[in-house]
Amino acid sequence: MTDRTRVLERLEALVSIETPSGYAPGIAAAQGLVSAWLQPLIGPPRRETVSGVTHLSWAGGTQPDVLLLGHIDTVFPVGTTAQRPFRCGDDRVTGPGVFDMKAGIVIMAEALAQARHPERVAVLLTSDEEVGSLTSRALIEREAVRAGAVLVLEPSLGGAVKVARRGGSIYRLDVHGRAAHAGLDPAEGRNALVELAHQVLGVASFADEQQGTTVSPTVAHAGTATNVIPDAAHLKIDVRAWTVAELERVHAHMHALPAHTPDVEVRVTGGINRPPMEDRCSRELLDIARAVGGRLGHTDLQAVSAGGASDGNFTAALGARTLDGLGPDGSGAHGVDEWVSVPSLLERVELVTGLLNELTRAPLSPAQGGLFSAAATGDE
């Protein structure tokens, strides 16, 4: 039986630790909290640092039946919880990162506490998902290859699990011009901001609404002072598409962008970040999840295709059986009105527990690399 009070206390404790991507003190504190929950169940964690970013994992033996996958970082800057602290009403909770995806981490911990064979379950909590998983991708792919199935505890979409996701690309466009006095000799300058304006409209035109391909200029910067012709400007661009072919089409356009202003250089860096997640990798696990939900008396589990990407895109691209969106119902990810349904949170603990019990085999013998074997434990 799920302990509602403990679930909500754990969620409040985790949400109250601020973990924006790149904020090492907060990430470390949250990792310590989650480690305290999981260590009695599956042993001490492994900490792996890649390019200064530390990720947390549990091996689950040499060949785990399941990988529980999630991320501990959020998009909210330090100070957000002071403005919008965790709040709990009768049926919903609010707070920065509560939906995406700290509730999913609490579900992991509670499900492992109730699962019959937690020693057969690997866990990977990354710290850079919100900024593209650049340092964690290799770890995600390594763990996915070892596991029999991947359950991603990202939030649901209206209670529905996610069986397909768009892939994504990330680009940065840099413009290099020449500075000049804006009043005395503006013609001597080469205005990087004017060139950037052309480029914003140009890259946005690569979108294809019929194909579901979006190309979104998102962050831009130029200039140093009002009376100086800007000599540098940059633009960040987010691309989403349902197929690799569409990502590749946009990629070719991005790296062939012409300059519109004489004597100005345009340079594009970046590329395809996450491949699309195809539903063929989710069908079997969806059937199992629906059967488990039926036995629990839950309403029919719905499945959707989602426009956003997750680390499940990486695991599905390797051919690993992957079911995403196993987090709770709620809404407002990345926004000021983020919330989670408490009844859904408790239901998802039951569902994930049932999935773990369905997917895990008998306990490992010591010779196979069990919970406290050298292969499965230790900080690295």
CB–CB of 339/165 below 8 Å?
no
The residues pairing with 219 across neighbouring beta strands, listed in sequence order, are 236
Within a 10 A sphere around the Cβ of 308, how many other Cβ atoms? 17
Give pLDDT < 70 ranges for the chain.
Answer: 362-380
What's the confidence (pLDDT) of residue 368? 42
* Helix 342-359 × helix 283-296 angle, to 10°: 120
How far, in Å, CA of 35 to CA of 39, rounded? 6
**Residue 378, CA distances (Å) to 126, 372, 373 in order:** 17, 9, 9
The residues pairing with 324 across neighbouring beta strands, listed in sequence order, are 162
b (16+ CB within 10 A) / e for 162-189 = bbbbbbbbbbebebbbebbebeeeeeeb
* Helix 342-359 × helix 4-15 angle, to 10°: 100
Closest CA to 277 of 145, 164, 149: 164
Within a 10 A sphere around the Cβ of 374, how many other Cβ atoms? 7
Sign of CA dihedral 113, 115, 119, 122: negative
Q: What is the pLDDT of residues 50-105, one digit of tens each?
A: 999 999 999 999 999 999 999 999 999 999 999 999 999 989 999 999 999 999 99
Q: In which order are the strands placed within the sheet that holds 232-241?
A: 214-222, 232-241, 167-176, 265-274
b (16+ CB within 10 A) / e for 66-99 = bbbbbbbbbbbeeebbeebebebeeebbbbbbbb
What's the confidence (pLDDT) of residue 2? 87
Q: Which helix H or strand E contains 232, and what residues bound it?
A: strand 232-241
* Residue 277 preceded by cis peptide, ω within 30: no
3-class DSSP state for residue 49? strand
Distance of CA 338 to the CA centre of its chain: 16
Tokens of 2: 């799920």
How far, in Å, CA of 153 to CA of 235, rounded? 32
pTM comes to 0.85
What's the confidence (pLDDT) of residue 374? 31
CB–CB of 139/380 below 8 Å?
no
How far, in Å, CA of 238 to CA of 200, rounded? 12
Taken in order of first residue, the domains within the chain and their CATH numbers are 4-165+276-368 (3.40.630.10), 167-274 (3.30.70.360)
Q: Which helix H or strand E contains 234, and what residues bound it?
A: strand 232-241
- Count of all residues that appear for the chain in the document: 380
In this structure, what are the phi and psi dihedrals at residue 299, rounded to the nearest 5 degrees?
-65, 165
